Structure 1
């Protein structure tokens, strides 16, 4: 077996972000293209048959593609300045698990595949799990094609430059039919396994979560020549929204509300902004709690904008209801892995998108820092190897 740590080391320099630290790897950019090429090389070295579907997701098949397959994998893209493990660990662990099974002389009785989903983090086009959402038909294809990155490039244009046909993007009945069960391994994004002193866990659920853009409109003007009484400064209600988000999250049980991105236009130091875009990430265990936070913050944004003589527009950019992973599959895997602990997660995943269409499960590997979406994200080599062996056992059980 080529250990996950060794496979991660092979891609260590790809997409390193000197300004933010960590890695910035976004769909169809140079870094992500290099990682796709690397994955294809690794898959073909294992005699896996590689195909790319109509939504730019990459599949590596053990034998002939077929229906009712056991599928594993994750993603290779990252958030801006993300860690080394979020996404890639699931991909390299799948390759390592294939190595383990081959060394044992295993031959799958069901089709078996490793998949790399496109744009899971939404770091370029703003919508998370875009590849799996398109495949499952949970996002309108026309809307997806029209999404724009910060440079104004549409998803359709980016697909075309990659050599894919954007007119074919959308729900993929053939690909869905081929997924009998999907198991995604991921680095844990939290401290559950640290506190339990266990290397591997099985997922139970994902919080209801979404992203909303608040666009505050005011009047751009000179920072020195404009009296305070004459200003319509959209930065003020934007700043008040940031503070209100923390307050709103505290009013909902296990709620989380975060502003991680704020963009003023035109963005000059001595310029009163004309518009300020603020992106809100809101999550809670139940749909009602998440919606309640967003309603509270929308009302607060309108009140604060009005007080400053500004306007606000609120746009829901993505949303996923709470996910409960297939309970029978979850319990089977927990028992198979020696009563592995069962943990909920606040992070969204491709497995969560697919859960409405096919039986899905997730495995988590211990993260000693408890930090994710940041350079400090980590997993020890021994735990990564334990995760790959756990995944191999799962694939043996399901596909054998």
Structure 2
């Protein structure tokens, strides 16, 4: 067993080990998408780090990695997170939870601790949804929260299907989908994650336990017009979907501003065909919408659609809104959250607007989350950060929680 120092260069040693993998020279930060060279390299790092601790690593039918301390079995305590990133993402979203889980296990081992239940560290696949458009895809497939046929048909920007990408990663696409055997092994899942917001800054606390996750989903707004020549088509003769889409994007913001505690974001646009001297024929705008309840989120999206239709009226263009993913509000088990908070000295309970694998799995198995303070309050960006002392506090908290349930 190889026990490494907890800190290196002012942060967790494990984060330092992967700091050069998937660096995005164009966007800044990291681009580590599922089953791409950078993500494969991260998987190799995880296997090496886990086996160095004497853990046995397996890949499940949906591409999730499991590192077992002792023999796999039912009623297991599972911890971990994900290694993939958004385009140009930060260093902590996902990897902090994986590195902290490995460090917590290592610290337990060095004290001679012997767990009374099976223990596993997990890495979920495609948590960000940055390649195939559906967030938490590995945990959704595991739990049956997404239909396997729908997942197989997903495509990336290059037209590669999820089924083909899975096959290239050594999986059998026919076996993708709900995994009752693996689900039956999970007695409790605890996910540690850097906070994506300012809650812990305002509370002046290094760690917190999650209480809830906002309802959220992704929709594709398609504005269709008429492709034509940029020089030969007069301004009043055009059915330009780019102009219409610009008005629709403003309508998205207006809808969110008119709804209490709502968030709506257009983070990605695709112009077809995308030529400088071409009037586009269509524009796709992807919308992330979130609100406090399922009903409020659905109402927000309905308002967005109505406002978008109104915004493009008279342009000669049409608008369609297509749902691509949906996650209802998650309220983590209050008794479990309170017990874990008490174990850590009554740390705060904190709601979040960010989705997580723990939220997806909460409908199938008991789950909980620990947040580590982010002093910038910024995430999904190179500015995402966590102080070394807070990262160590997170590992210490996770170790204490594992001791309390093992």
User: Residue 166 of structure 2 aligns with which residue?
Assistant: 159
Distance 2:85 2:91 in 1: 9
- The answer for the alignment partner of 1:397 in structure 2 is 404
- 1:7 aligned onto 2:10: no
Q: The residue matched to 2:276 in structure 1 has which SS?
A: coil
Quick one: distance in 1 between partners of 2:146 and 2:60? 17
Choose the corresponding residue for 1:234, options 221, 230, 241: 241
Trace 1:15-54 onto structure 2 (pairs within 5 A).
Answer: 15-54=22-61
2:223 aligned residue: 216
Q: How does 1:119-268 map to 2 (within 5 A)?
A: 119-268=126-275
Superposed CA deviations along residues 122-154 of structure 1, whole A, max 9, x for unmatched, are 000000000000000010000000000000000
Counterparts of 1:29 and 1:126 in 2: how far apart (Å)?
Answer: 15
Q: Output the CA distance in 2 between the equivalents of 1:74 and 1:43.
A: 14
1:78 maps to 2:85 = yes
2:248, 2:312 within 8 Å by CA — same for their partners in 1?
A: no
Q: Which runs of 5+ in 1 are unaligned?
A: none
**Contact preservation (8 Å) 2:251, 2:311:** no
Q: CA deviation at 1:233?
A: 0.6
* Residue in structure 1 matched with residue 382 of structure 2 by the alignment: 375
The answer as to whether partners of 2:104 and 2:396 remain within 8 angstroms in 1 is yes
Residue in 2 that maps onto 1:366: 373
Worse-superposed segment, 242-251 or 176-185: 242-251
TM-score computed with the length of structure 2 as normaliser:
0.97
> Which residue of the partner structure matches residue 102 of structure 2?
95
Aligned partner of 1:112 among 107, 115, 119? 119
Q: CA deviation at 1:218?
A: 0.7
Q: Is the 8 A contact 1:2 1:96 kept in 2?
A: no
CA deviations 1:165-222 (Å, max 9, x no partner) are 1110000001110111100000000111112211110000000000000111111112
User: Does the 8 Å contact 1:206/1:352 carry over to 2?
Assistant: yes
What is the SS of the residue equivalent to 2:116?
coil
Shift of 1:242: 1.4
Q: How does 1:211-360 map to 2 (within 5 A)?
A: 211-360=218-367
| Distance across 1 between alignment mates of 2:163 and 2:126 | 13
Distance 1:344 1:212 in 2: 24
Mapped to 2, the partners of 1:357 and 1:161 lie a distance apart of: 29
State the Cα RMSD in Å: 0.9
Q: Does 1:386 align with 2:386?
A: no
User: C-alpha separation between the residues in 2 aligned to 1:6 and 1:110?
Assistant: 28
Please give the alpha-carbon distance, in whole angstroms, between the structure 1 residues aligned to 2:160 and 2:5. 38
Residue ranges of structure 2 left out of the alignment (5+ in a row) = none
Alpha-carbon offset, residue 302 of structure 1: 2.4
Question: How much does 1:337 deviate?
Answer: 0.4
Q: Conserved in 2, the CA contact under 8 Å of 1:2 and 1:99? A: no
Q: Per the alignment, in what secondary structure is the counterpart of residue 175 of structure 1?
A: helix
Deviations along 1:244-275, one digit per CA (max 9) or x if unpaired, are: 11111112110000101111011122211111
